[in-house]
Structure 1
Amino acid sequence: MTQYKIPVLSGDGIGPEIIAEGKKVVDVAGEKFGFDVEWIDYPHGADHYLETGELISEDTLKELSGYPAIYLGSIGDPRIAPGVLEKGILLTARFYFDQYINLRPVKLLEGVWTPLKDKTAKDIDFTVVRENTEDFYIGIGGRAKKGESKDLLEVKRTLYSAKFGLDIETDSEEIGYQIGLISKEGTQRVMEYAFDLAEKSRKHVSSVDKANVLSDIYGFWREEFEAVASKHPDITTDFNFVDAITMWFVKNPEWFDVVVTPNMFGDIITDLGAMIQGGLGLAPGGNINPQGTSMFEPIHGSAPKYKGMNKVNPIATIWAGAMLIEQLGEKEAADSIVGAIQQNILNAKVRTYDMGGSNGTSDVGDDIARLVREG
């Protein structure tokens, strides 16, 4: 029997509850398909930070880098200032492990309500490939008061490093600035991943940018897209400004197969994707390094007001678990889990409140695990 060791960061709020259901379903899939997962729990999150002052250490990151995948619950707690945990744990891990792909399946399952009139499961089935380590999310910027000042901003990545020496002179009382950066190497590798994905689906890749306004950074993105596309002549392509693609997601989601996008725009449009596929409770995501350590999670937050209530929908987390084991090579088991999620929804007997039911988090996990076992 194949053995896997998978670190788990259950995180905050509802994180431990939803992760418990994801582990339960993966364990059942393992029993059926001939593999075993040893879950290794890590404490990092709000409670750990409040007790120790530590977000996540270099030693812990080095230890985690020895594993192929991490299972993440949710990060965020009202006792701690917004962004502290997210930047200090989630973004730190993404950058440290060079998880340069954020993978978001946008798939409407049969039996799930969508706010898009007359659209069905056959119309909403595409994947967003978001660049995950560059753009305006590199985390460098600052503020300057009236007069003259200097700043040195630096970004370090596996692929390169860059420094920005700023001589600032302003007669405004105060300004704020943020530096965005994309690299040829970083852009090409995420696009190659998107084109490889399209080779296995409907052979269409849509690019997202805002080159008509931010021509330096996103004109560069568009040029690299054209260069990568030229190496894949069997793939059809199109360009979309980010504001336009939000319209097309709503009006004609059936147009899309694989969508590749810079980091910031991807963050925005994947939330729209979550809503047209039925809501955040049904939206999984993966932070991927194809040659390193990847991390899988639901894209919703920690919902602290529901902590300990056994109330929230665990499907996004269970689906993220399916993505995790598929990354490990267990595709048949992953497909079985997604199929069981679909059957649970079609049966319409065991549902959480957000889907019109009255069952608890663990009830849904139990039912999906049963369907995997019996499938």
Structure 2
Amino acid sequence: MKTIKVASIPGDGIGQEVVPAAEEVVKAIAALHGGLSFEFTRFPWSCEYYTETGKMMPDDGLKQLTDFDSIFLGAVGDPRVVPDHISLWGLLLTIRREFEQVINVRPAKLLNGLRSPLVNPNDFDLIVVRENSEGEYSSVGGEIYQGGDQIAIQNAIFSRKGTERAMRYAFELAKKRNKKLTSATKSNGIFHTMPFWDRIFTDVSRDYPDIETDSQHIDALAAFFVTAPHRFDVIVASNLFGDILTDLGAAIMGSVGIAPSANINVNGKYPSMFEPVHGSAPDIAGKGMANPIGQIWTAKMMLDHFGEEELGSALLATIESLLADQITTPDLGGTFSTNEVTNELIARLKKLG
């Protein structure tokens, strides 16, 4: 029996509802395998934990997580803990940085049964690979002077190592899909870092002669996401550009609330982390109406990460069958509760066995 040990952090708000739901779904689909099981260990780290202890997680929190195979995160954020960077840097971003989760991966796909706001979406199915450790989000810079002379400086740091690492990950992913990779750039406006990015993309592409490549300026690329998303397969982007494109990708699917993501450690030293894109939604927390699909689709990405692509595909197909039958929560126009959607999904998975 292959057992995958997962550190489960429901976090705040609806995370407390959708993470347990997704855990049950994962256990149900693992049972189809016969030789696979998931062992979830729950951690209470959250804004609630912060209000009690003054910390988002204990001082040895990272040490506690190190030996797990992966981390399954719900949502972080609570209006009682402000500003937002307290919860983000105290938990989510600390895990990303310290565990060297240097790649962020987010798919955007026209799901059967989910209406896209686009008039003609043409069955788009794309994945954005985002460099997740440096770029425009590097914490290098500062402020000088006061009053009308005050200046803020934010430095974007692009290393060849980090840039090439993200690009090679994207090329390898493109090999498994439709052998097409697009680079997001802005070398006609950003003088140093984007020409650097372009040169590295050209260099790396020589090692993948079978992959069709192109580069698109980020402003045009964002427009194409709206007018012709079916043109794209895998897109590789810097930290900021990838962040923007992935939220846009979720929007053209029809709901940010169902979008999944993965933060990948590529060197094997630490666990990767899987989290949905949605926030903690405190306005609906505890009402039993949270949509579990984003967390469950995130679990599908976790299955893929461990080489269980067949199970992952079966899970996504079952999710689409629910959407097609309009078994959805109120955010998608349905009348079903979190538990009802989850239970129906599990029932359909069991029929696959």
- Percent of aligned positions with the same letter in both sequences? 39
Is the 1:108–1:277 Cα contact (8 Å) retained in structure 2?
A: yes
What do residues 92-111 of structure 1 show as CA deviations (whole Å, max 9, x unaligned)?
11011111111001111112
The total of aligned residue pairs comes to 348
Equivalent of 2:191 in 199, 215, 220: 215
What do residues 285-340 of structure 1 show as CA deviations (whole Å, max 9, x unaligned)?
00011323110011011101111011121101001011112212222222221111
Equivalent of 2:317 in 319, 330, 339: 339
Alignment correspondent of 2:243: 267
- The one-letter code sitting in structure 2 at the alignment partner of 1:69 is S
Is the 1:343–1:371 Cα contact (8 Å) retained in structure 2?
A: no
1:172 deviates by: 4.5
Q: Aligned pair in 2 of structure 1 residues 56, 220: CA closer, same or farther (>3 Å)?
A: farther
1:37 deviates by: 1.4
1:203 deviates by: 0.7
Provide the secondary structure at the position in 1 that maps to 2:156.
coil
Equivalent of 1:293 in 267, 271, 275: 271
- TM-score computed with the length of structure 1 as normaliser: 0.90
Equivalent of 1:243 in 198, 219, 234: 219
Distance 2:144 2:90 in 1: 24
Distance 2:182 2:197 in 1: 13
**The 10-residue stretch of structure 1 (173-182 or 6-15) with the greater mean CA deviation from structure 2:** 173-182
The alignment's C-alpha RMSD in Å is 1.3
Provide the secondary structure at the position in 2 that maps to 1:137.
strand
Distance 2:5 2:337 in 1: 29
Distance 1:62 1:260 in 2: 31
Alignment correspondent of 1:306: 284
Alignment correspondent of 1:371: 348
Alignment correspondent of 2:339: 362
What do residues 187-212 of structure 1 show as CA deviations (whole Å, max 9, x unaligned)?
00110010001111111100002111
- The one-letter code sitting in structure 2 at the alignment partner of 1:324 is M
Distance 2:33 2:351 in 1: 12
Distance 1:363 1:289 in 2: 34
Distance 2:158 2:87 in 1: 25
Provide the secondary structure at the position in 1 that maps to 2:149.
strand
- The one-letter code sitting in structure 1 at the alignment partner of 2:335 is S
Distance 1:174 1:199 in 2: 49
Provide the secondary structure at the position in 2 that maps to 1:115.
coil
**The 10-residue stretch of structure 1 (358-367 or 323-332) with the greater mean CA deviation from structure 2:** 323-332
Distance 1:282 1:15 in 2: 13
Distance 2:291 2:115 in 1: 15
Is the 1:344–1:368 Cα contact (8 Å) retained in structure 2?
A: yes
- The one-letter code sitting in structure 2 at the alignment partner of 1:317 is Q
Distance 2:163 2:109 in 1: 25
Provide the secondary structure at the position in 2 that maps to 1:333.
helix
Alignment correspondent of 1:252: 228
Distance 1:141 1:300 in 2: 29
**The 10-residue stretch of structure 1 (284-293 or 261-270) with the greater mean CA deviation from structure 2:** 284-293
What do residues 207-242 of structure 1 show as CA deviations (whole Å, max 9, x unaligned)?
002111112111111111111111111111111111
Is the 2:260–2:297 Cα contact (8 Å) retained in structure 1?
A: yes
Distance 2:170 2:98 in 1: 22
Q: What are the ranges of 5 or more consecutive residues in structure 2 without an aligned counterpart?
A: none
Is the 2:185–2:198 Cα contact (8 Å) retained in structure 1?
A: yes
Distance 2:149 2:58 in 1: 38
Alignment correspondent of 1:23: 23
Is the 2:163–2:200 Cα contact (8 Å) retained in structure 1?
A: yes
Provide the secondary structure at the position in 2 that maps to 1:186.
helix
Distance 1:295 1:337 in 2: 19
Report matched runs for 1:83-232 at 5 Å: 83-120=85-122, 122=123, 124-146=124-146, 172-232=148-208
Q: What are the ranges of 5 or more consecutive residues in structure 1 without an aligned counterpart?
A: 147-170
Alignment correspondent of 1:322: 300
1:282 deviates by: 1.9
- The one-letter code sitting in structure 2 at the alignment partner of 1:366 is N
- TM-score computed with the length of structure 2 as normaliser: 0.96
Distance 1:94 1:26 in 2: 23
- The one-letter code sitting in structure 2 at the alignment partner of 1:373 is K
1:57 deviates by: 4.3
Distance 1:205 1:196 in 2: 10
- The one-letter code sitting in structure 1 at the alignment partner of 2:91 is I
